[in-house]
Each structure stands twice: as structure tokens, then as C-alpha cells.
Amino acid sequence: MKELLFSAASIAVDENKAPLIADDKIVFGILMGILALIFYTGSKKGWDKFYRIIPALFLCYFIPGILSSFNVISADYSNLYPIAKNYFLPAALILMTLSIDIPGILKLGPKALIMFFTATIGIIIGGPIAMWIMSYVSPETVGGEGFDAAWRGFATLAGSWIGGGANQTAMLEVYKYNQSLYTGMVAVDIFVANILMAFLLFGIGKKAKIDRWLKSDTTAIDSLVVRMKDFEKSVKKIPTTTDYMKIVGVAFVGVSLAHFLGDFLSNFFAGLTDKPDEAIFASKFFWVVLISTFFGFALSFTKAKNLEGVGASKFGSMFIYILVAAIGMKMDIFTIAEKPFLIFVGIIWIVIHAGLLLGIAKLIKAPYFFLAVGSQANVGGAASAPVVAGAFHPALTTVGVLLAVLGYFVGTLGAIACAELMRMVAGG
């Protein structure tokens, strides 16, 4: 889910565990078939009760995850996630922001930031509390001496769950965790982050009930969505092939520009430091996300904004669903059996994070949207926060991007604070 889920010390592909289907041409067809079937059944009478219980978006993520867990398909043998991340995600960001309503976003108020920083604090305090709890259950899981000390490994998780891959790599370098043990932390990162995202996506289908329980005021969000819908109606027309080509052209010209400038800027900033892997500004993905968003924002001041009338955001949503399915391929429900206690630390950690979010959301009556996006802007990063935000409505995608970018900047400092607290708990 992160831009850098795997570093040089990542889990190697086991050639003896090749999936039943490894050909991406076939795997992509399977994923598209799953998405088509879900949307087809979702449009049919008689399925409404089922989809009220199990949201369609959750299935788009979960079914590929089940196939991956049973080794029918595998993200380790596929390039679909990198393609979706590098092509479809920036294209979706452009198409979902070209009709952005800046006044509407500004009216969302401070609760988005409050929930984002609540999510950050949840990660900072969740790590040491989880270590303390597990020290009574399995002391060896959170023990270790020197560079084998578990708290050093958990510091890399803090970097990943607050900022992203660059922050995670920075923590690995700063705390010098034994890289031969690092694969276990990568497994925890993947498993727990995917489980959290699954719950958040499931919650989107229940957002009305959750908002009623939180007693949240969704007026600003609803108003923004209504304004977006009204604008779409005002420019709506029967699309032609020319209109569709304009949409695709605008999107992928923007994608190519983002990658071109991203290469240049990341290389420029990498040349200014001896440790480019630790530098946020040396991350190409950071620049691709940022440039794509600003490209779409710039288009919102031109006639390109009217492409919303022929379905620009719907194309963006389609790209997002493809990305969701590709992310689902990374899930392995059996990972917990390999390192149960290590993963339990991650689960306790993320439960504390989620519990704090729920508590603050209830206290300030924040909408579930701010809770979910604030969480993913930390734990999921720039590849996931826009997905979750866009799942509420395309008009809200930019909120996810902006919060995810903020996560890059606070990630290293927050991770160091968490690491030092974990060092104190471990007595290191």
C-alpha cells in the first residue's frame, strides 16, 4: 500500500510457491471480471440486501485478497500493482481534481486536520503501549539486544504508518535494525495495514449509521458533494468518442508530465544528500502524486473542468477500483500463522490507533469521512488515502491527497518520538 512496501531487505519471492496463475494478462482479466461482476450484481434487484451488509467496495478489495491468500494469484509475481500505482492512480487524481471546488473544501473546517493528527498520535502512543502489553504475554517477541532489539524494528513500522516508504527506510537507517529480521516487520506492515484498510472500506458502506452514532455534522461534506453533483448536471451532455479521447488524453498527458518532472525533481534532491532513500523530496512517487494533483487543480481553472459533464470523475473512479483490486492482491490472511505474536503487536497497535480516532471523533462529532481518511493518510499513505477519500465521493479525493502529503512531512519526527518511547518501554 505504500510507495515503498519493500526495501532491499524485503521478502524474496519463493520460487516453490508460484501461484496457480502468474500471467498478468490473465490475472488482469480475472480482476476486471471480478469488478464487473460486483458492479453488475450491485445494479440488480435482489442483491440490495446483500450489498447493504457487505459493501461492494470491500468486495473489490477482499475477493482478490482471498485469491491471493490461496495462491491462485500473487502480487509477488505480478506487475499490476506498480502499473496501477504509477499509471492509474495519478490519472485518477487528475480526473477527480479537475473539477475541484476549492471554496467547498475550505468549508470542511479544522476537523480533518484534528483527525489526521489524532491518527498520528494514535500511532506514536500505540507502539509503546502494544509493546508493554505484549511484554506480559510473550516477552521474547518484544525483546532482543543491540541491533536485534524488537523496538528498533517497530520504529520502521512507525515510520511507515505515519509517513511512508521514505520515512520507513529512514528509521531502518537511523536505528540500524538487523536487516535479516526486517522481513518480519515488513510482513506485519503488509498484513495489519491491509486489515485496517479492509475495515475502513467496509465502514464506508455503513457510513450513515456510523455518522449517526458519532452524532457528526456532515453538512459541509454533503454540501460539497451536492455542489459537485450540481456542477456535473450543469455541464452534462451525451459523450462522444472525441470527449472520451479528451478525457484519456488529458489524464495521461498529465501522468507523463508528472513522471517526467518527478524524475527530474527526485534526482535533483537525491543529489543534495548522501542518503537519498531517507529523503522525502528524493522520492519520485511523492512528486508524481503532488504534480498530478496540482495538474488537475490547474485544469480546474480552465475549460477542461467541463469534462466532468462527460464523465471525467467516473473514469477516475474506474481507475481507483482497479487500484483497489490490485492492492487486494497484497493481502494474505495466512500471514498471521507465520509470526503470530509479532503480528499481534501490530494488531494491538492499530486497535489503539483506531480506538483513539473513534474516541476523538465521538468527542468532536467528526464525520466518519475524516476518521477514515485521517487514518489512511497515516497508515496507508498517498497510494491509499485518495482511494478511501474517493470512495466517499470523487469530489473528496483531494482531501485524501493533501492529508497524505502532510503525512510525509510529520512521518520521520513522529516515528522518532514513537521509537524513543518504545526504547523506554524496552529499557534500552
Q: How many whole angstroms separate alpha carbon 399 and alpha carbon 297?
A: 12
Please tell me the least confidently modeled range out of 143-152, 164-173, 216-225, 253-262. Answer: 164-173
Query: pLDDT at position 80, please?
Result: 94
Residue 82 lies in a domain: yes
The pLDDT-based confidence of 49 (bands split at 50, 70, 90) is confident
How many domains does one find in the chain? 1
Q: How many whole angstroms separate alpha carbon 381 and alpha carbon 160?
A: 8
Cell of 343: 503480528
Select from 74, 333, 373, 355 the least CA-distant residue to 191: 333
**Integer CA distances (angstroms), 185 to 64, 164, 188, 307, 363, in order:** 23, 14, 5, 44, 33
Does 65 have pLDDT greater than 70?
yes
Question: Domain range holding 164?
Answer: 18-426
Q: Which is more confidently placed, 71 or 285?
A: 71
Query: pLDDT at position 268, please?
Result: 93
Q: If you average pLDDT over residues 285-302, what whole number do you get?
A: 86
Query: pLDDT at position 336, please?
Result: 62
The set of residues, in sequence order, having a beta carbon less than 8 Å from that of 133 and lying 6+ positions away, is 348
Q: How many whole angstroms separate alpha carbon 398 and alpha carbon 385?
A: 9
Q: How many whole angstroms separate alpha carbon 427 and alpha carbon 202?
A: 39
Q: Which is more confidently placed, 72 or 328?
A: 72
Q: How many whole angstroms separate alpha carbon 422 and alpha carbon 152?
A: 8
The pLDDT-based confidence of 279 (bands split at 50, 70, 90) is low
Query: pLDDT at position 337, please?
Result: 66
On whether the CB atoms of residues 68 and 81 are closer than 8 A, the answer is: no
Residue 3 lies in a domain: no
Residue 53 lies in a domain: yes
Select from 223, 161, 240, 167 the least CA-distant residue to 197: 161
Residue 279 lies in a domain: yes
Select from 140, 160, 133 the least CA-distant residue to 351: 133
Proportion of the chain above pLDDT 70, given as a percent: 89
Give per-residue pLDDT as tens, 333-386: 776 666 678 888 999 999 999 999 999 999 999 999 999 989 988 887 766 788
The set of residues, in sequence order, having a beta carbon less than 8 Å from that of 414 and lying 6+ positions away, is 120, 123, 124, 158, 162, 163
Q: If you average pLDDT over residues 105-117, what whole number do you get?
A: 81
Please tell me what DSSP assigns to residue 11.
P
Q: If you average pLDDT over residues 161-171, what whole number do you get?
A: 71
> To which residue does cell 467528526 refer?
366
Give per-residue pLDDT as tens, 170-220: 677 678 787 667 767 877 887 888 888 888 888 888 888 998 998 988 887
The pLDDT-based confidence of 30 (bands split at 50, 70, 90) is very high
On whether the CB atoms of residues 249 and 98 are closer than 8 A, the answer is: no
Residue 12 lies in a domain: no
Select from 206, 205, 194, 210 the least CA-distant residue to 379: 194
Query: pLDDT at position 40, please?
Result: 93
Q: Exposure of 183 by Cβ count < 10 A (0-12 exposed, 13-18 middle, 19+ buried)?
A: middle
Q: If you average pLDDT over residues 68-77, what whole number do you get?
A: 91
Give per-residue pLDDT as tens, 297-319: 899 889 998 898 888 888 988 99
Q: Exposure of 200 by Cβ count < 10 A (0-12 exposed, 13-18 middle, 19+ buried)?
A: buried
The pLDDT-based confidence of 3 (bands split at 50, 70, 90) is very low
Does 82 have pLDDT greater than 50?
yes
Does 105 have pLDDT greater than 70?
no
Residue 95 lies in a domain: yes
Cα Rg, the chain, nearest whole Å: 21
Q: In the predicted model, what is the mean pLDDT of the chain?
A: 83
Q: How many whole angstroms separate alpha carbon 418 and alpha carbon 332?
A: 27
Residue 235 lies in a domain: yes
Select from 419, 427, 386 the least CA-distant residue to 126: 419
Query: pLDDT at position 308, please?
Result: 85
On whether the CB atoms of residues 426 and 179 are closer than 8 A, the answer is: no
pTM for the model: 0.68
Residue 269 lies in a domain: yes
Does 35 have pLDDT greater than 90?
yes
